[in-house]
Amino acid sequence: MRISWLIGGPQGQGVDTSANLFGQAVAKAGYYIFGNREYYSNIKGRHSYFQTVLSDNPVHSVVSYADILVAFEPETVFQHFDEVRKVVIYDPSQASVSVPFVRSMEPEIAEEKSKLLENEGLRPTVNDAITYAVKRGAKAIGLDYDSIVVKVAEEVNVPRSVAERVKNVAAVGASLKVLGLPIDGLLEAVRNAFKNELFIRMNSLAAKLAYDQVPSVYDLKPLERKEPRVWMDGNTAVALGKLAGGLRFQSYYPITPAADESVYLEAVETIEMEVNALKKGGVIVVQTEDELAAINMASGAALTGARAATSTSGPGFSLMAEGIGWAGMNEVPVVITYYMRGAPSTGQPTRTGQADLKFALNVSHGEFPRIVIASGDHVEAFWDAIWALNLAERYQTPVIHLLEKAIANSYVVTEESNFRGEYVIDRGKLVRPETDYFPRFQVTEDGISPRVRLGDAGVFYSGDEHNEWGHITEASTNRRTMYEKRMRKLETADREIPEEKRVNVFGEGDYAVVTWGFTKGAILDVLDELQAMGVMAIQVRMFSPYPRNLMRKLLQGKKAIIALEGNYQAQGAEVMTEQTGVFPTHYVLKYNGRLITSDEVMEGVKRALKGERRVVLSAGQ
């Protein structure tokens, strides 16, 4: 069982809040959830929507349709009427509103949607859009928002303009009824969400009124939960992982969709630690003047012995290129958490993307060990954040941790135990010296030199080629020695890190889907179906050092190799070919700024196996 619920509305008018309340109510009823937020790079007024997929089994992705669409204003109806399957909740008093009156709607979308209606002989009105949905089998439920608003205003004794705000909670109340779930979870969530007693009363009332107004369509029952579950979005998962991994310094410059991670860390302030003398630590979070400062501050902090990271998105990462090179040259353990969004340039700041892999792998001029990992879901994001910090310190080199807006701004409800376990910390060759001066860059067999904190002995660093002491030298023999020493670290890492840890394999079969990042979740959600078709899936989790041998083995003899990625070039596949010589036979790609959905995975794979060499997916408003 898997139900997709979608609520929309203008940015800044409570869509998020209502989706949260809905999620909490459903989670409290024992359901697993995957939720995703889509919004414009805008503060108020543009259409944003929240899709929540609930299930009695763990769920990891969204779908390209809405079983239940919830609208309290016209644009949501216009944007989504063609996605509804089962139920659409709308405001009948707005039935006559037509597309041209919705100024916030982009001309491209207005035109596209009007045409859709026109093709069916319908006019571009709310009424006709609902008709469209009903014709396709959906049940239309008109919710009398106005009467609810009026009642709330009366009962709680507030002006109507204030009571207007309850519409979205009303929508949630109605949704619960449609699902057949009790309303208590929602009322509890409302009590937790609002501090103000008045708001609690207003919203509880609205929820109840709406609940009573609509029929049940589904017949869901509250489920047992065996162990505690948590609500985890991607930004928080990474922040928590970093804390568990001993992060003590984070610099950042605000950018979507990375900033929330830093904001979370900043709020933590003092940290409890299991240490004898002074029990409490703290993570310093610095909002910098730009991303050039962010990466270089983090490197500076790392030189003192603090575990340090920065977090950014494409434009910021572009600005960090030079600093990452310095960190590579100076063997600085620094982590760059990199949330991909719509690119190139400013691109689509609030939409997802998966097109920065090769930039991450090759960032900055020259050669040095760049370690690049890419997480596939929220749980992986948490553990990878710890892993990244350990890799950085063990191999003394920048580690780039790739994620996507799709993970950052989506959330799962899943077992808390997924985030518990042994948090291993590997500080590598961090030592306490006894001498006045310390040769920081000693040549060793594995390429890794003993490392000291600034302040423990006189050490030198330089972005210029340097000798073992960190002093500049241009001698050609030293150049070669130090160059090889640095590059050897990547070979060491390649030897030490089990390739099995760098790849996730799902199922078995003659056909392989090769993917990375968020798409993992979409695959997991249709794995049974894929398996039934003889399709297995391979998710690359570490791109550098690349799991060359294992990948060769896995790809060998496959009847089809389908590259499934959120970009145009199939960058993951390009790296695969570079490393293994193997080309994909098919491509299933998506680059319209929206998440790859689980049903699209099925569609793509099926079309590919029917012979389409390149399938381009395009679901999502």
Partner 1 sequence: MQASEVKTHKPVWSDWCPGCGNFGILRAEELAIRELGLDPKSVVVVSGIGCSGKLPHFMNVPINGVHTLHGRALAFATGIKLANPKLKVIVNAGDGDALGIGMGHFVHAGRRNIDMVLIVHDNGVYALTKGQASPTLRKGIKTKSLPKPNVNEAVNPLAVAIASGYTFVARGYAYDVNHLKELMKRALNHRGMALIDVLQPCPTYNDVNTKEFYDKRVYKLEEQKDWDPVVRKPEEVQEKALKAIMKSFEWGERIPIGLFYQNTLEETYEDRIAKYIENYFDYPPALQEIEKDGKSTTLMDKLLKTRRI
Ligand X SMILES: Cc1ncc(C[n+]2csc(CCOP(=O)(O)OP(=O)(O)O)c2C)c(N)n1
CB of 319 to ligand X, least distance (A): 5
Which positions from 86 to 105 touch ligand X by CB under 6 A, shown as an x/- string? --------------------
Q: Does 41 sit near partner 1 (CB under 8 A)? A: yes
The site for partner 1, by CB under 8 A, has a size of: 117
Q: Does 621 sit near a second copy (CB under 8 A)? A: yes
Cα-Cα-Cα-Cα dihedral sign, residues 371, 372, 378, 379: negative
586 CB-contact burial (10 Å; exposed 0-12 / middle 13-18 / buried 19+): buried
Report how far apart, in Å, the C-alpha atoms of 105 and of each of 47, 69, 121, 582 are.
Answer: 7, 18, 22, 45
The partner in contact with residue 96, picked from ligand SF4, partner 1, a second copy, none with C-beta cut-offs of 5 to 8 angstroms by kind, is none
Q: How many Cα atoms occupy the beta-carbon half-sphere of 292 within 13 Å?
A: 2
Positions in 85-124 near a second copy (CB under 8 A): 106-109, 112
Positions in 478-537 near a second copy (CB under 8 A): 478-480, 483-484, 487
Rank residues 43 and 275 by Cβ distance to ligand SF4 and give the closer one.
43
Q: What is the spatial distance between Cα 73 and Cα 479, in angstroms, rounded to a whole number? A: 66
Positions in 107-166 near partner 1 (CB under 8 A): 107-108, 111-112, 115
Report how far apart, in Å, the C-alpha atoms of 382 and of each of 191, 237, 405 are.
Answer: 30, 5, 15
Among 235, 375, 467, 598, contact with a second copy (rule: CB under 8 A): 467
Q: Which residue is nearest to ligand SF4 (CB)?
A: 43
The residue behind tokens 């009105």 is 125
Which positions from 289 to 318 touch ligand SF4 by CB under 6 A, shown as an x/- string? ------------------------------
CB of 255 to ligand X, least distance (A): 4
Rank residues 219 and 436 by Cβ distance to partner 1 and give the closer one.
436
The residue behind tokens 């390739």 is 499
Among 21, 22, 43, 565, contact with ligand SF4 (rule: CB under 6 A): 43
Instruction: Provide the β-strand partners of residue 537.
Output: 506, 513
Backbone angles phi, psi at 368, to 5 degrees: -165, 160
CB of 370 to partner 1, least distance (A): 18
Positions in 45-84 near a second copy (CB under 8 A): 46
Q: What is the spatial distance between Cα 80 and Cα 583, in angstroms, rounded to a whole number? A: 38
Among 315, 323, 369, 509, contact with ligand X (rule: CB under 6 A): 315
Q: Does 346 sit near ligand X (CB under 6 A)? A: yes
Q: Do the beta carbons of residue 538 and residue 514 sit within 8 Å? A: yes
Which positions from 299 to 338 touch a second copy by CB under 8 A, shown as an x/- string? ---------------xx-xxx-xx--xx-xxx--------
CB of 543 to partner 1, least distance (A): 26
Q: What is the spatial distance between Cα 39 and Cα 180, in angstroms, rounded to a whole number? A: 29
Rank residues 253 and 591 by Cβ distance to ligand X and give the closer one.
253
The partner in contact with residue 362, picked from partner 1, ligand SF4, a second copy, none with C-beta cut-offs of 5 to 8 angstroms by kind, is a second copy
Backbone angles phi, psi at 288, to 5 degrees: -95, 180
Among 209, 306, 340, 400, contact with partner 1 (rule: CB under 8 A): 306
Rank residues 67 and 574 by Cβ distance to a second copy and give the closer one.
574
Helix spans in 91-233 (H): 107-118, 126-135, 145-156, 160-163, 167-179, 184-193, 197-213
The partner in contact with residue 365, picked from a second copy, partner 1, ligand X, none with C-beta cut-offs of 5 to 8 angstroms by kind, is a second copy
The partner in contact with residue 162, picked from ligand X, a second copy, partner 1, none with C-beta cut-offs of 5 to 8 angstroms by kind, is none
CB of 293 to partner 1, least distance (A): 4
Rank residues 425 and 472 by Cβ distance to a second copy and give the closer one.
472
Q: What is the spatial distance between Cα 605 and Cα 44, in angstroms, rounded to a whole number? A: 39
The partner in contact with residue 253, picked from ligand X, a second copy, ligand SF4, none with C-beta cut-offs of 5 to 8 angstroms by kind, is ligand X
Amino acid (1-letter code) at residue 29:
A
Positions in 242-261 near ligand X (CB under 6 A): 253-255
* Region from 73-81, 252-260, 560-568, 593-601 binding partner 1, contact rule CB under 8 A: 252-260
Q: Do the beta carbons of residue 525 and residue 61 sit within 8 Å? A: yes
Instruction: Provide the β-strand partners of residue 313.
Output: 339
Q: Does 508 sit near partner 1 (CB under 8 A)? A: no
Of 544, 472, 495, 493, residue with least CA distance to 324 = 544
What stretch of H or E contains 18?
helix 15-28
Q: DSSP letter for 395, please.
A: H
Q: Do the beta carbons of residue 79 and residue 8 sit within 8 Å? A: yes
* Region from 160-168, 269-277, 366-374, 592-600 binding partner 1, contact rule CB under 8 A: 269-277
CB atoms within 10 A of CB 159: 8
Rank residues 112 and 529 by Cβ distance to partner 1 and give the closer one.
112
Q: What is the spatial distance between Cα 242 and Cα 34, in angstroms, rounded to a whole number? A: 23
The partner in contact with residue 223, picked from ligand X, ligand SF4, partner 1, none with C-beta cut-offs of 5 to 8 angstroms by kind, is none
* Region from 153-161, 311-319, 439-447, 539-547 binding ligand X, contact rule CB under 6 A: 311-319
Classified as helix, coil or strand, 381 is helix
The partner in contact with residue 609, picked from ligand SF4, a second copy, partner 1, none with C-beta cut-offs of 5 to 8 angstroms by kind, is none
Report how far apart, in Å, the C-alpha atoms of 588 and of each of 33, 75, 153, 600, 607 are.
Answer: 26, 31, 52, 9, 9
The partner in contact with residue 254, picked from a second copy, ligand SF4, ligand X, none with C-beta cut-offs of 5 to 8 angstroms by kind, is ligand X
* Residues whose CB is less than 8 angstroms from the CB of residue 330 and which lie 6 or more positions away in sequence, other chains included: 299, 303, 461, 462, 463
Q: Does 291 sit near ligand X (CB under 6 A)? A: yes
Q: DSSP letter for 610, please.
A: T
Q: Find the angle CA(576)-CA(579)-CA(581) to the nearest 5 degrees.
A: 80
Among 200, 217, 263, 431, contact with partner 1 (rule: CB under 8 A): 263
CB of 471 to ligand X, least distance (A): 18
Q: How many Cα atoms occupy the beta-carbon half-sphere of 518 within 13 Å?
A: 33
- Chain-centre distance of CA 188, in angstroms? 28
**What is the binding site for ligand SF4 (CB under 6 A)?**
43-44
Binding site for ligand X (CB under 6 A): 253-255, 291, 315-316, 319, 346
